[in-house]
Amino acid sequence: MDAGSVTFPRAETRQIMVGDVPVGGGAPITVQSMTITKTADVEGTLQQIYALAAAGADIVRCTCNEPEAAEGLARIVPRSPVPIVADIHHQYLRALEALEAGVDCLRLNPGNIRKPAHIKAVAQEAKDRNVPIRIGVNGGSLDPALYEKYGGRVTPEAMVESALQEIAYFEEVDFDLIKISVKASNVPLMIEAYRQLSEVTDYPLHLGVTEAGPPPQGIVKATAGIATLLAEGIGDTIRYSLTSDPVDEARMGRTLLESFGLRERKNVDLIACPSCGRAEIDVYEVAQQAQEAFADREIPLQVAVMGCVVNGPGEARDADLGIAAGNKRGHLFVRGTNVAVVPEDEMVPTLVEWAEYINDNGFDAAMERAKATRDQARRAAEEDRDRNLEALGDDANASEQVVELLRKRR
């Protein structure tokens, strides 16, 4: 089976609209992130929202923790490029103000707003305005009564019960524009809570590992939780909660969905060989430079950086475009065909230039462009390949010598 045709069946959920972005009901899975500015700082917050949208966020959440934040939202929402969710923690009045400010969604934490009358007042107002609400259960701030009931521990069952209790309050006033999250910083706990929740409700689910921490460990934790659930078909919208620039959160979310084939590629998918004794450049360094050069360019291609021309073009023949090092030169190839040869210090700019050319004009035009240089590029690649093989032999990593030595020692 062609890897591109592998898909994961998705759990059927209802669909809600967060502004003009559909969530659930088979809609593309969306990426969310959260601003870390003071929401009252309108220009600073908008700047961050634009950066998050450019990095792949479909929906952005801003805190609404004080009256000035609600006023900020009233100014931010009309100018935002993406729908805005107001994050409400303890005071239900902030929720009412955020609705008045025109937000596209609210996020309530049932562990923090516990008076049924308050919850219903917010639900009624949201219903009148047709604004959805995320019920954000959080393992770290579970309702104390549920915590006691489950033996002084946060369990998946306790988190699901908290979500169901809250849903019941909303349903009492006929409010069903709901999405739910049951986040925890403990990955197995979070996975099991979402699994159980997905069994008992068809409201769309917002996935996340809360307080995942700083990269790179935070990225691994968040990915472990979110990716496991996505592979099981669970989840309609996701957020990486990293202790880092929120732009990283949006990028990671987008990258995860693209790598699952759940969203179309928006940015370059950079692949690079792991390097070995045959490498003729510092692969890490050049891959890093390429990553930075492509970071903000919306070019949906897979681009390869390979350490040698002996195996590079072959190992990366499925990439749309790639470059392999050899004899102080960069050998550029498009879908496995050598198209140009450039000095080593021009490898990254050349990759960027060809990626932009392919993005603007297509592959046929790129092959046409390569007509004049293709033969020379192939010959140069062969020369450098032979030279590398001559210098390093077939076994550049000396593996066979080590195996021989090991055998002798037995």
The residue from 69, 252, 279, 305 that contacts ligand SF4 (CB under 6 A) is: 279
Judged by CB under 6 A, which of 168, 200, 231, 276 binds ligand SF4? 276
Q: Site for ligand SF4 (CB under 6 A): which residue of 19, 72, 110, 307?
A: 307
Closest to 320 measured CA to CA, from 306, 307, 339, 333? 333
Sign for the CA dihedral angle at 341, 344, 346, 350 comes to positive
Output the smallest distance, CB 283 to ligand SF4, in A: 6
- Residue found by looking up tokens 């409010």 in the block: 175
Q: Is 174 left (phi over 0), alpha (psi -120 to 50) or beta?
A: left
291 or 311: CB nearest ligand SF4: 311
Kind plus residue range of the DSSP H or E element containing 43: helix 42-54
**Residue 323 near ligand SF4 by CB under 6 A:** no
DSSP lists the bridge partners of residue 341 as: 331
For ligand SF4, the closer CB: 34 or 319: 319
Nearer to ligand SF4, 132 or 322 (CB): 322
Examine residue 216 and say whether the peptide bond preceding it is cis (omega within 30 degrees of 0).
yes
> From residue 225 to residue 264, what is the string marking binding to ligand SF4 with x (rule CB under 6 A)?
----------------------------------------
| Stretch touching ligand SF4 by CB under 6 A, among 110-118, 196-204, 274-282, 355-363 | 274-282
273 binds ligand SF4 (CB under 6 A): yes
Residue in 41, 245, 315, 383 binding ligand SF4, rule: CB under 6 A: 315
Strand partners of residue 334: 321, 337
Largest CA distance in the chain: 81
Cβ proximity to ligand SF4: between 7 and 397 the closer is 397
What's the closest the beta carbon of residue 219 comes to ligand SF4, in angstroms?
Answer: 24
Task: Return the ∠ at Cα 236 (arms to 69 and 83), rounded to 5°.
Answer: 30
The answer to whether 327 contacts ligand SF4 (rule: CB under 6 A) is no
Tell me the residue nearest to ligand SF4 as measured from the CB.
Answer: 307
- Of residues 258 and 344, the one with the C-beta less far from ligand SF4: 344
290 binds ligand SF4 (CB under 6 A): no
Cα-based distances in Å from 141 to 65, 137, 154, 158 = 17, 8, 9, 12
Q: Is 403 in the site for ligand SF4 (CB under 6 A)?
A: no
The helix or strand, by DSSP H or E, that contains position 257, with its residue range, turns out to be helix 246-259
Angle of CA points 243, 185, 251, to nearest 5°: 40
CB of 403 to ligand SF4, least distance (A): 18
Please report whether residue 304 would count as binding ligand SF4 according to CB under 6 A: no
**Looking at beta carbons only, is 74 or 392 nearer to ligand SF4?**
392
Tokens of 60: 């952005």
Instruction: Give the residue carrying structure tokens 């749309």.
Output: 320
Residue 46: what residue type?
L
Alpha helices in 316-362 (DSSP H): 347-361
Q: How far is the CB of 407 from ligand SF4 (least distance, A)?
A: 24
Stretch that binds ligand SF4, among 16-24, 160-168, 269-277, 350-358 (CB under 6 A): 269-277
Q: Read off the tokens for 63.
A: 């805190």
Q: Number of H helices and number of E strands within the chain?
A: 14, 15
Beta partners for residue 137, in sequence order: 182
> Does 391 contact ligand SF4 by CB under 6 A?
no
Residue 377 in contact with ligand SF4, rule: CB under 6 A: no
Quick one: which H or E segment has residue 170?
helix 156-172
Binding status of residue 329 toward ligand SF4 by CB under 6 A: no
Q: Select the span of 89-97, 99-107, 171-179, 268-276 touching ligand SF4 (CB under 6 A).
A: 268-276
Enumerate binding residues for ligand SF4 (CB under 6 A): 273-276, 278-279, 306-308, 310-312, 315
